[in-house]
Amino acid sequence: MCEMLAFSSPTPLAISRILDVSLLLDEYGIAGFGWGIVWSDGETLHRYRSVDSIRRDLTAKTALSQITMQKGFVHLRRPSLMTTIGHVNVQPYLSPGGDWAFAHNGYLERHAEFRERFASQLVGTSDSEVGFWYWMERLQTNAPLMQSLFETHQALRGNANFMALGRQGDLGVYAGNEENAIYTFRIGDLQLASTGLHSRDNFLFETVFPAASHIDGLGIGQSIVL
C-alpha cells in the first residue's frame, strides 16, 4: 500500500524538489507510516529513513537541505501487515556492503515460505525484507539487475513494484502491482517513475505532477532503467 518515486537528472538536483512532490504523494496516498530516500553520488549510496511520515518528520528538510543528487528513489510506507510498523522495517533496504538499495510496494504472498531461508540476515519482520534478501541472492549469481527483480517477483508472487539503485547509479524500476500502477514521465530534463496513488484515474498528473510530459504506464512484469 506504499508509494514510491524514482528520479534521474543529468545535472545535480536539489533534494528539495524531490521532497516537495514526495509530500504530495504522502498527502494524497495512503502511506504515512515511515519514509526513506536513497541516492547515489556516482560512487557511494546515501540513505535517510524515518519512522515518521514525511509530513511529520520535522528534521528531514534541515538534515537534507544542502544535498544535491542525480539518481535515487523515495519510499513512503504503509505496511500490508500493520504489526510491522517500526524503524527496522522502514525502507529502502541497503546491502551489507552499501552497494545496493531496494524498496517494494505491494505484498509478497510467499514471504513466509522463504523467511527461514534468510533467518540469519533478517533484521525486521516485513514481507518486503524477505524480498530484498531473495533479490540480493539473485544478484550474487550475477543475474542482471532487471532480470533479478523479475525473478524475485516470480518466486515470491503477489503484488510487487520494485525500485533498486546501485552505488554507481544503476537505477531500475519494476512494475508488478495490479493495485498500484507505475508511470514513467518527464519534467523538463528530469526523468521520473511514480506509483499511481492506488487511483485508477489521472489524479497523479492533475494534482502532483501537472507539468509532466511523455507519460507512459509500465505494464505488469515490465521494467525500465532510468
Q: Which domains does the chain have, with CATH numbers?
A: 3-104+161-225 (3.60.20.10)
CA dist 51 and 106 (Å) reads 19
CA dist 31 and 47 (Å) reads 19
Write down the pLDDT at residue 79.
73
Task: Using 70 as the pLDDT threshold, list the residues of the chain that sit under it.
Answer: 84
Strands lying side by side in the sheet with 159-166: 93-94, 100-107, 159-166, 171-174, 223-225
CA dist 129 and 137 (Å) reads 12
